[in-house]
Amino acid sequence: MASVSAFIIALYLAVLVIALIKRGKEFDSPWLFLLRCFFPSWRFFDSPGPQPRLFVRVLSEDECWSAWTMFIPRAPFQLRDLFYNPENNLRLTEQTLIEHLSLDVQDLLEGQKVDALVSYALTQRVAHRVARTLSSDHKIKAYQFELRLLPGLDDDPSEHRLLASPIIKEADYVS
């Protein structure tokens, strides 16, 4: 039993070293992506590179487009969040979705359509949710979203637009 334990530990340490060497490479298998909990990388806030952000604008009932508004999870601090924090965790999950979309868009192969991506379809719904909050009465005629890479701490100070959605009419929105 002791030798089996030692072997398992040694095997795991080897996996750890490989993970450190291969850090930064993303999963390209659907099952590995869905079950990545079994292969933790433990990379937290490791690189302050370009940050993908969702921008949304809305067309109001009086045919005026709003300014582009960036979605960024923000909340006032509450101590009780330490024990119960569903709303904020959900917003953070939405930001993670946007980061996945950013990676999916950059990995698209020639001829592949972005609107076939699950991450795109879900982001469209997140954008719809955000769009409705931009209108005081939650009524909108249409909305549009963009995915942009905001500069990090690396040398490139410019902002890059990764994708722009078509204008989505509220009447055409499928819930």
Whether residue 59 contacts residue 140, with contact meaning beta carbons closer than 8 Å, is answered with yes
> At its nearest, how many Å lie between other proteins and the CB of residue 104?
11
Comparing CB distances to other proteins, the nearer of 97 and 114 is 97
- In angstroms, what is the minimal distance from the CB of 36 to other proteins? 5
Q: Which residues bind other proteins (CB under 8 A)?
A: 1, 5, 8-9, 12-13, 16, 19-20, 23, 30-31, 33-38, 40-48, 51, 72-77, 81-86, 88-94, 96-97, 100, 118-119, 121-122, 125-126, 128-129, 152-153, 175
User: Measured between alpha carbons, how far is 4 from 135 in angstroms, rounded to an integer?
Assistant: 62
Closest separation in Å from C-beta 79 to other proteins: 9
Query: C-alpha distances in angstroms, 82 versus 8, 26, 45, 85?
Result: 35, 31, 20, 7
Give 31 or 111: the residue with its C-beta nearer to other proteins: 31
Count of other CB atoms within 10 angstroms of residue 78: 10
Question: How far is residue 148 from each of residues 92, 95, 106, 119, measured CA to CA in Å?
Answer: 17, 13, 12, 15
Nearer to other proteins, 67 or 77 (CB): 77
- Identify the three-state secondary structure at position 19: helix
Residue matched to tokens 């963009």: 146
> Least CB distance from residue 63 to other proteins, whole Å?
26
